[in-house]
Structure 1
């Protein structure tokens, strides 16, 4: 390039325009664009994959099994099992002189349908206990929580009951109950009792 061309600004412009028209420069520009396009596509693919994995993870966390605290919260399961077992032992144990105490205990641990069923049944039991001098001792031998949420529990309970009548040999019988309990004011109340 001559010294005149170096001083002439228009001469440089012509040279740049000639360079832009060079076919090899077009290949260079497309080669520079390709990594950007590939990076954008990979970013979109990663975001889409992340969204799908997040949605599937939510579905796994929201299954009925994970909502059942009996499978995940050992402390709450132990507490409800203990409370219900203790309550059943109290309300199903009585003797000729202790029916009033048993009835009072029932009002402290039973509610709703369970309390109504118990009141209807206990009237008959009270009479039999006095007439026959019947004593019933109930012990929970095994109980398990089948379903537990923050405020309700379903349990399967196995009981051993010893019946004693004056002048007779005590007899032992086993029973199996389904129990529904509700957490109210920090205490577990038995609201439904069924036999299986």
Structure 2
């Protein structure tokens, strides 16, 4: 047996430097595990917050605040103010020789509780107007709609009233009213008036 047959020589592989290493598969570098966990947590928080906001928006859409068009529907708001302001000017202005016109206007412009209250008080006013020769002129100084939904509205109205009696200087008085109105046959009618 020859030495070459029984002994196999083991030749070590030459050492290589890292530059000589065979290339590995190219791909994006892997992010550290903590960064992946933070990103996943942030996504979950954002999804949870978004779901919460959607749920809250759904709750608000059915609430009375969402149904109030007083600040969002400028055309309807202006129309309510115009109709109610005009009605208040007509029903709270009169001359001693023509209170019947004021009473007639009240029948058209007032309804419900407001019509009943006005009817009770205006009889007394008519007598005094004739006796004292009293003329009352009412001007709406400012009006704002606090609630507007569908066919009902609530307003806060500031009035100036000028009373003139024969032989006396005019007297001006201010009034503040809370007014409820309802849309009837395309026109806003006053259904309740409360002095503030």
Query: What's the TM-score bracket when you normalise by the shorter of the two chains?
Result: 0.7 to 0.9
Matched with 1:97 is 97
Residues in 1 aligned to 2:53 and 2:116: alpha-carbon distance in whole angstroms: 50
Listed as ranges, the matches of 1:125-140 within 5 Å are 125-140=125-140
Distance apart, 1:53 and its partner CA: 5.3
Query: 1:167 is paired with a residue of what secondary structure?
Result: coil
Distance apart, 1:65 and its partner CA: 2.2
Residues in 2 aligned to 1:159 and 1:170: alpha-carbon distance in whole angstroms: 16
Greater fraction helix? 1
Residues in 2 aligned to 1:178 and 1:145: alpha-carbon distance in whole angstroms: 10
Residues 1:88 and 2:88 are matched in the alignment: yes
What is the root-mean-square deviation of aligned Cα atoms in Å? 2.0
Greater mean deviation of Cα atoms: 179-188 or 82-91: 179-188
Query: 1:188 is paired with a residue of what secondary structure?
Result: strand
Residues in 2 aligned to 1:195 and 1:176: alpha-carbon distance in whole angstroms: 6
Matched with 2:146 is 146
Residues in 1 aligned to 2:180 and 2:59: alpha-carbon distance in whole angstroms: 28
Distance apart, 1:74 and its partner CA: 0.7
Q: TM-score, normalised by structure 2?
A: 0.72
Distance apart, 1:58 and its partner CA: 1.1
Matched with 2:77 is 77
Matched with 1:174 is 174
- Cα deviation, 1:111-130, whole Å, max 9, x if unaligned, reads 01100000000000000000
Matched with 2:61 is 61
> Structure 1 pair 158/49, CA: closer, same or farther in 2 (3 Å)?
closer
Higher Rg: 2
Query: 1:71 is paired with a residue of what secondary structure?
Result: coil
Q: TM-score, normalised by structure 1?
A: 0.72
Distance apart, 1:62 and its partner CA: 2.8
> Structure 1 pair 49/146, CA: closer, same or farther in 2 (3 Å)?
closer
Greater mean deviation of Cα atoms: 64-73 or 171-180: 64-73
Gaps of at least 5 residues in structure 2 are 1-46
Distance apart, 1:187 and its partner CA: 1.2
**Is the 8 Å Cα contact of residues 65 and 71 (structure 1) preserved in structure 2?**
no
Gaps of at least 5 residues in structure 1 are 1-46
